[in-house]
Chain A
């Protein structure tokens, strides 16, 4: 969407300054530098100004000033998002919510915590750990990412196959709309009558409202956990084992796959004890009470053996489990060491298509001459292909984007989606055109309009314009037979 040029009206800045605490409005370029990008660092833009409100009232007043003067607003949590959802717009205000970082209430009787949006994901679990409780969704950035950002992206994590995404674990939201309304959605219980705006807000990428309070469910920690490592001689066999274990009725707490490239990189980096000769490994976490975990452990080990695992290790001690997970958690930085740059994709596919899509990614990798590593949430079918490239070599950025787009189109063609958990942001606007038809995009637009008729909240994100898709459609050549693969394409 086009953002109308806004005069750097000193009067508007003055009004913003007057509703904020001293120093909470940033306009100097050097001080705004940390806000020019998020976790998708390839895309940057300097904002007009950055506001860091310290209270919910200040958030409301900032929104009121922005509405009155038609200033675009880009809400921002911890800035760890991987799709550019918090990338600023040139003439807009970044509304940073990091100072709203208080845990307002831990209600043990109701098993909920009510927190401000800037509270870090992990801080919630840390605050209730002494009671044997935790907050389930655990995106890999959980040390840094904020719960408000998790709501905006509907974040997942390693354990969401069994314990759900953000949408399944948030029971209440307080939201401020750009029109100045306060929406109190849900509460401490479940499924209040009326449209499920709570579900709609989850994953809406800050386009519909600004979340100022989040009520999350707290779950009891499982008393027993076991982690299995299963090594396979082919990627296809590992993918087949994923399908098998779930079709046998076992829902692992986590089920991750790493291919040879990533498992070796991770092993070099973290000394997790992975078998370097494996074509792929599965890490499978099973939890429950003691009897259940023991029974599942034996069952899963047998199934992996039947599917061709040649080496199965069972980690029962917390130390051994942590070591196995350490490699997985270090996979992205580890891959970062073997190539100057990498580009992380996020498609989700039906599990049964895993082997086919992994093979397709291998073929694309060969054709483009770019190495692609695979480490992902196999149980959910959520792929994270890592495209290795060197931004300093001419044309490689474009090649990486191009193969990335083809990988996402491959995901869509087998019935999948262009983003499983990282969001569309600015990164996947074009792939969205491959997934949605014009009438569907127009429906998204009308929903946006119901919340934000002036389109001031996070403009230009998440939903591509029809004209963008028309342009894409005109250029799109199926399955990569691009006439000029090195050409920059918007």
Chain B
């Protein structure tokens, strides 16, 4: 699928600006439910890989390019997206992955989405087509406005194309499973964070600690015997975790208790109740009846922040509002993320 819709998108932004009409950007719709704010502007049709040079470890693709297409192309060259973006229901676009900034199970070892973003081409709220960053690994020319788009949920502009760093697929992957309780699992994760190892993901799923080892065969085999436990019968666990398909993510089954996503100091003490712990302890998914204030108090205590799972953050500090206005003076894009009246 390849289609250049940049001209139409620029026209849409300019006419919205002229009419004072707000725009809700809609990609594949896999992560954010279509919001009822402003008019939806479909951006997913602007799709297609523009440049991929495996020897450079760089891929450039239009924002609407399906993640599945990107993964398939990279797979042909035994490469991958290091940040393992969730593909909810198997869907999602590269632009959506960058806009949400959702990183997968390997984040502490392989880097975040923003770590892999090398450059963007975007449309700001003035309808201008802008290029920041590039296709090279090191670039300090001007402010890093390309990484700033990561996790901005499209509130600063439309991502026309994105250049990302890709990485070689590991030669071998192996998952160990260690039966233990939550506290023991967390202590294990922190202890191993201080040792050099080919660990590339950890996940305490309520019953056991799962540890993914990735790298050269020799190194993975040596580490597997050091880690111990048994070989996991189900290495697809990591994809299910990435795509948020494990039981803890299933809303219907859990009798109304809310699921919270907590990013915190990795060694911080665990909350009580069902909790999935990944990223060496730095991300927790907590299913609880506690009121939001109690959840936020827990997160603050853990040197972290809590968000209801799968929800966009709001960009409400005065500085964030000024930054929004710097890109989008009329607050056209995704107004529901920012209190437009306060601009």
**Complex-state Cα separation, A178 to B219, whole angstroms:** 50
**Complex-state Cα separation, A207 to B144, whole angstroms:** 12
**CB-CB < 8 A to A167: which residues of B?**
115, 144, 147
Neighbour of A418 across the interface among B58, B141, B171, B282, CB < 8 A: B141
Interface flags, A294-306, vs B, CB<8A=1, else 0: 1110000000000
Asked if A188 and B303 sit within 8 Å, CB to CB, the answer is yes
**CB-CB < 8 A to B128: which residues of A?**
439, 443
CB-nearest residue of chain B relative to A109?
B267
Question: Min CB distance, B4 to chain A, in Å?
Answer: 19
A292 at the interface (CB under 8 A from B): yes
B313 at the interface (CB under 8 A from A): yes
**CB-CB < 8 A to B315: which residues of A?**
194-195
Interface flags, B54-98, vs A, CB<8A=1, else 0: 111110000000000000000000100000000000000000000
**Complex-state Cα separation, A108 to B267, whole angstroms:** 9
A402 at the interface (CB under 8 A from B): no
CB-nearest residue of chain A relative to B115?
A168
B246 at the interface (CB under 8 A from A): no
Question: Min CB distance, B2 to chain A, in Å?
Answer: 21
Asked if A417 and B216 sit within 8 Å, CB to CB, the answer is no
Question: Min CB distance, B274 to chain A, in Å?
Answer: 20
Question: Min CB distance, A432 to chain B, in Å?
Answer: 6
Asked if A292 and B55 sit within 8 Å, CB to CB, the answer is no
**CB-CB < 8 A to B112: which residues of A?**
190-191
Asked if A196 and B304 sit within 8 Å, CB to CB, the answer is no
Asked if B194 and A110 sit within 8 Å, CB to CB, the answer is no
Question: Min CB distance, B237 to chain A, in Å?
Answer: 21
Q: Give the bracket for the number of chain A residues in contact with chain B.
A: 35 or more
| Residues 14-57 (chain B) with a chain A CB within 8 angstroms | 53-57
**Complex-state Cα separation, A187 to B299, whole angstroms:** 12
**Complex-state Cα separation, A132 to B279, whole angstroms:** 21
B234 at the interface (CB under 8 A from A): no
Asked if B53 and A440 sit within 8 Å, CB to CB, the answer is no
Interface flags, A404-422, vs B, CB<8A=1, else 0: 0000000000011111111
Asked if A193 and B267 sit within 8 Å, CB to CB, the answer is no
What are 12 inter-chain pairs, A to B, with CB distance below 8 A?
A: A110-B265, A111-B193, A190-B103, A196-B101, A249-B168, A349-B136, A380-B137, A417-B140, A440-B132, A443-B145, A443-B326, A444-B142
Residues of B in contact with A (beta carbons under 8 Å apart) = 53-58, 78, 101, 103, 107-108, 111-112, 114-115, 124, 126, 128-132, 134-145, 147-148, 150-152, 156, 167-169, 171, 190, 193-198, 215-216, 218-219, 221-223, 263-267, 279, 282-283, 303-305, 307, 313, 315, 317-320, 322-323, 325-327
